[in-house]
Amino acid sequence: MLMTLIQKEMMHHILSARFVALLLMCVLLIPLNLHINYHHYLKRQIDYQEQEILKDEDALEDENDKESAGTKHSFSFTAKGSTDPNFEVSKLILKPTPLSVFATGLESALPSYLGMTRNGITRGEASLSTAPIAFLLGHLDFVFVVSTVFSLLALLFTFDAVAGEREAGTLRITLANALPRDIFLWSKLIGGYLVFILPFLISVIIGLLVLVLQGFPLSESDTFLRILCLIFVSLLYIAVFFAVGAVISIYFDSAKTALIVAFTVWVFVVLILPRVGFLAAQIVAPTSTAESVYREKTARRAELRAGLESERGKMMSEVLSEMMKSNPPQAQGGTAVFTMGPEHYEKMNEKMAPLEEAARVKYRDLAEQLDRRYQRERKHQDTIGINFSRITPTASFIFLATDATQTGQAKKNTYFQTGTRYYETLDTEIFSKMSEDPGDFSHRGEIPPPIPPPPLAELTLGETLQHAALDLLLLCFFAIVLTTVAFLKFFRMDI
């Protein structure tokens, strides 16, 4: 009996005009969307390769300069870096992921590279900042289409599943026969869901074929498994909104009222509440601004440098006094002139070295303390915002989908953690051996070449699912609870 009713429900939807509209929308929207985003990915891939080439050319040029200048007075980029604390000794460049074709996520907002300097880590421009007008209208990708468009279409498919038949009077006639209510409701939900996901799956397959024909690496690594995971999560998310539509259809007698309520619920659940969560987090857990942290670090560094300059001035006065005692002044135009040579600078630098090292370590500790405090505040605020936004299935779906496509929170955390570890390695091997004095010749030619950046470790699919387990459980929870509410209300409903 259930299969017969499901087939009847499916034929009812297939022969309707909304199925044709859904099919055309899916076939046009998803493949075209994937095609356009793949070209954007190729452009980002070319930009990444050019940055890598430029970095290699700079390193080769510095090596040639070092060989031509000689070892004693080498002015390679490591030596220049010893006098310029903001000089980028090396870069950790962000490589775009192929799965960003499906979900842009945070990849467009992450810095294009992390530059390593003695003053800390600098950040390159994000792709979001290079095309601000384009991003003003938002970014259209697969995750956006599913989270926004298909959630609304799912409600439009189900808002009159029960309310429409009740209003037309067919529900009373149907249930007057020996037909259990649960069988009737299951046939409505399953039949409508199968008809709805059929155009969706067809369009996804067409989109994948379009990508493969253009050279998309579908067979590489765990790409195919991640796409399957994304499709499964999308189907689960659509099922949640089918359950929402069923609840609305059961609670209201009029189809028009159910339609208005369904649209209102969609606006709040999809467009408003996920963003309100982060706004509430800013009120509950306010943080310092990045500019205030930078100003505080600059002030601390200026204080330490002023102290060092004062000490250096005292030592220079002592050296000049010793020169006046050991060598009589040579008068030129009535003015005594003393010239400090490299040996005097070397002697003064030997005395200043412990003070400079102590100041450098103190500044580094202060900067790390400020950065850790700022990062703790931001992480606490983000955690609160994420948890607040999870009251809606849309937020859980986006978090889970972007993690599955390697463009979400996990990618951001891995990127910055790798940059921090790389900086700590360079600080130990290179930065601690550099002097800030332009007259210091003792370190030149002795600084080791920069250590190449480590590869950006990506989470495996298993680790990704473990990281996003809460969002997956929440989607399942929403689907089960809403379906249960629909059945309980339908069993108690007076027809």
Token code pair at residue 400: 């889970």
Helices 181-213 and 469-492: angle between axes, nearest 10 degrees: 150
Section 234-249 average pLDDT: 95
Give whole-number Cα distances, 143 to 396, 397, 399, 452, in Å.
Answer: 12, 9, 10, 35
- Can you give the pLDDT at residue 71? 42
447 vs 260, more confident: 260
**Mean pLDDT of all residues in 174-180:** 82
* Amino acid letter, 289: T
Q: Report the pLDDT averaged over residues 333-350.
A: 63
Q: Which two tokens stand for residue 388?
A: 């607040």
Q: Distance (Å, rounded) from C-alpha 303 to C-alpha 90?
A: 28
What amino acid is encoded at 433 in this protein? Answer: K
Query: What gap in Å lies between CA 150 and CA 29, rounded to an integer?
Result: 11
Single-letter code of the amino acid located at 277:
G
What pLDDT is stored for residue 33 in this prediction? Answer: 92
Chain centre distance of CA 359: 35
Query: Is residue 229 very low, low, confident or very high in pLDDT (cuts 50, 70, 90)?
Result: very high
More confident residue, 250 or 452: 250
> Higher model confidence: residue 299 or residue 228?
228
- End-to-end alpha carbon distance in the chain: 22
pLDDT tens column, 380-431: 888 899 999 999 999 999 999 999 999 998 888 899 889 888 888 887 777 7
Q: What is the pLDDT of residues 26-42, one digit of tens each?
A: 999 999 999 999 998 99
Q: Cα dihedral sign for 57, 51, 214, 209? A: positive
Where is pLDDT greater, at 353 or 217?
Answer: 217
More reliable by pLDDT, 409 or 236 = 236
Largest CA distance in the chain: 123
- Report the mean per-residue pLDDT for the chain: 82
What is the pLDDT, as a whole number, of residue 474? Answer: 95
Per-residue pLDDT reduced to its tens digit, 118-172: 767 888 887 766 665 666 666 789 999 999 999 999 999 899 888 888 888 888 8
DSSP state for residue 146 in the 8-state scheme: I
User: Buried (b) or exposed (e) across 50-63, using 16+ Cβ within 10 A?
Assistant: ebeeebeeebeebe
Strand order in the sheet with 120-123: 90-93, 113-117, 120-123
Angular region, 460: left φ>0, alpha ψ -120 to 50, beta rest: beta
Query: How high is the pLDDT of residue 211?
Result: 94
Q: Note the pLDDT of residue 269.
A: 94
Phi and psi at residue 123, to the nearest 5°? -120, 135
- Assess whether pLDDT exceeds 90 at residue 241: yes
Cα separation, 132 vs 147, in Å, equals 23
Write down the pTM of the prediction.
0.81
- Of 165-169, 244-248, 321-325, 379-383, the one with minimum mean pLDDT is 321-325
